[in-house]
Chains A and B, each alone.
Chain A
Amino acid sequence: MKPLLEVRNLTVEFNTASATVHAVNDVSYTLAEGETLGIVGESGSGKSVHALSMVGLIAMPPGRVVRGEVLFNGRNLLALSQRELFDLRGKEIGFIFQDPMTSLNPVLTIERQIAEPLRRHLGLSASQARKRVVELLELVGIPDAERRAGQYPHEFSGGMRQRVMIAIGVSCNPKLLIADEATTALDVTVQAQILELVRDLKKKIGTTVIWITHDMGVVAGLADTVQVMYGGRIMERGPVRAVFNDPRSAYTWGLLKSLPHGSQRGVKRLYQIPGNPPDMTREPVGDPFAPRNRFATERCFRETPPLVDAADSVSGHKVAAWYDLRQELAKLEAASHD
Chain B
Amino acid sequence: MKSFFSALLQSRAGLFGFVLVTVFVLAAILAPFLGLPSPTRSDLLARMAPPTWTGLFSPGAHPLGTDELGRDILSRIVYGSRVTLIVACSAVVLGGVVGVLLGIIAGYYRGIVDRVLMRIVDIQLALPLMLLALLVVAALGPSTRNLIIVLALTSWLRYARIIRGQVLALREREFILSAHAIGAGTWRIMLRHLLPNVLTPALVIATLELARIIIMDAALSFLGLGIQPPNPSWGRMLSDGRVYISTAWWIVTFPGIAILLTVLSVNLLGDWLRDYFDPKLRTSR
- A positions within 8 Å CB-CB of B: 55, 57, 85-91, 94-95, 97-99, 102-108, 116-117, 120-121, 150-152, 154-155, 165, 168
Question: Are A117's CB and B183's CB within 8 A?
Answer: yes
User: Complex formed: what's the CA distance from A94 to B279 in Å?
Assistant: 27
User: Complex formed: what's the CA distance from A104 to B177 in Å?
Assistant: 10
- Chain B nearest CB, measured from A258 CB (Å): 29
User: Complex formed: what's the CA distance from A287 to B253 in Å?
Assistant: 83
Contact residues in B for A89 (Cβ distance below 8 Å)? 180-183
User: Complex formed: what's the CA distance from A302 to B105 in Å?
Assistant: 48
Interface contact tally, CB-CB below 8 A: 76
Contact residues in B for A90 (Cβ distance below 8 Å)? 181-184
Contact residues in A for B196 (Cβ distance below 8 Å)? 105, 107-108
Question: Are B197's CB and A165's CB within 8 A?
Answer: no
User: Complex formed: what's the CA distance from A116 to B284 in Å?
Assistant: 23
Question: Are B285's CB and A150's CB within 8 A?
Answer: yes
Contact residues in B for A87 (Cβ distance below 8 Å)? 183
Knowing A97-B174, A116-B192, the reply to whether A106 touches B280 (Cβ < 8 A) is yes
- Chain A nearest CB, measured from B104 CB (Å): 14
Q: Among A87, A90, A105, which residue has the most Cβ atoms of chain B within 10 A?
A: A105
B244 at the interface (CB under 8 A from A): no
Question: Are A120's CB and B279's CB within 8 A?
Answer: no
Of residues 9 through 50 on chain B, the ones whose CB sits less than 8 Å from some CB of chain A are none
Knowing A150-B285, A152-B279, A155-B284, the reply to whether A105 touches B181 (Cβ < 8 A) is no
Knowing A105-B196, A155-B284, the reply to whether A168 touches B178 (Cβ < 8 A) is yes
User: Complex formed: what's the CA distance from A107 to B284 in Å?
Assistant: 14
Contact residues in B for A86 (Cβ distance below 8 Å)? 183-185
Contact residues in B for A97 (Cβ distance below 8 Å)? 174, 177-178, 181
B2 at the interface (CB under 8 A from A): no
Contact residues in A for B185 (Cβ distance below 8 Å)? 86
Question: Are A154's CB and B174's CB within 8 A?
Answer: no
Knowing A102-B174, A103-B174, the reply to whether A154 touches B181 (Cβ < 8 A) is no
B193 at the interface (CB under 8 A from A): yes
Contact residues in A for B184 (Cβ distance below 8 Å)? 86, 90, 116, 120
The 7 closest A-B pairs by CB, nearest first: A90-B182, A90-B183, A95-B181, A152-B279, A89-B183, A102-B174, A117-B182
